[in-house]
Structure 1
């Protein structure tokens, strides 16, 4: 990575305490020991082993008329001092690579007030599909959520260029 950000690596049980601490420092409540084993779970640590951020992706069936079943970017947290330095982008690109091995599209749900997340996803080619106060089991109090999707299938022109 050009910005000096280490590559994402698989999350391990030894990372769980640091993930909980990071999440609590951000006013959230991540519980990594409850996450499924078939998920994409990643961390980025600095050279000293300090957690800079974590993320996950998994299959989700929201049982919602608006949000379809599919592979979703399911969570990401980046330490305050590491934001806007490429950690979130690196974690998101790695999750998209993981999803691309399993499906032709990726989905995510973002709070409409989270301008940074929306900008990141749009810069990676996500498009808005819907806005709602609730998408699947995710309820947005005092606002709405944005359903985003990205086509991961290679374009026909790219496929022709490879021939």
Structure 2
């Protein structure tokens, strides 16, 4: 991800009814995008170190945000973005973490397919509050890879 991608990320986020603000993200985190051959943004994702100060969720490297354009869902974009983030985490730690809304069946299916396991359920983890239900704390052991993380579709 580069600063030149920020306007497209904001537009994608707004089209999904959200408010991603990439200008506020830390330079030390993993930030990846997937584009089509014409350079159109299809999706973005991030991962970073998080210390949630939560009795259930430990400090560690967490998959943070991910958004995929509606016309490109169920085509492997989210999986590519997540695999790139897992590769980045594997270069820094042995465990990857994430929290997911229990009602987000697509995200849960993706994470389970990638080997994540549920460790806890709660209405909140750290500063993340789950509206209309509970969230799941998921983790996966990761193995270090030799090359840099790259997302390809």
- Give the TM-score of the pair, scaled to structure 1: 0.87
Deviation of the 1:142 alpha carbon: 1.3
Deviation of the 1:153 alpha carbon: 4.2
Deviation of the 1:133 alpha carbon: 0.4
Q: Which runs of at least 4 in structure 1 moved beyond 2 Å after TM superposition?
A: none
2:92 to 102, 105, 114: 102
Cα distance in 1 between the residues matched to 2:9 and 2:143? 32
Cα distance in 1 between the residues matched to 2:45 and 2:132? 25
Q: What is residue 118 of structure 1 aligned with on the other side?
A: 108
Cα distance in 2 between the residues matched to 1:21 and 1:145? 27
Q: What is residue 76 of structure 1 aligned with on the other side?
A: 66
Higher relative contact order (CA 8 A, sep 6+): 2
- Give the TM-score of the pair, scaled to structure 2: 0.93
Deviation of the 1:95 alpha carbon: 0.3
Q: Which structure has the larger Rg?
A: 1
Superposition pairs of residues 29-108 of structure 1, within 5 angstroms: 29-108=19-98
1:135 to 125, 132, 140: 125
Please identify, of 25-34 and 144-153, the stretch whose mean Cα deviation from structure 2 is larger: 144-153
Question: What number of residue pairs does the alignment pair up?
Answer: 144
1:12 to 2, 23, 30: 2
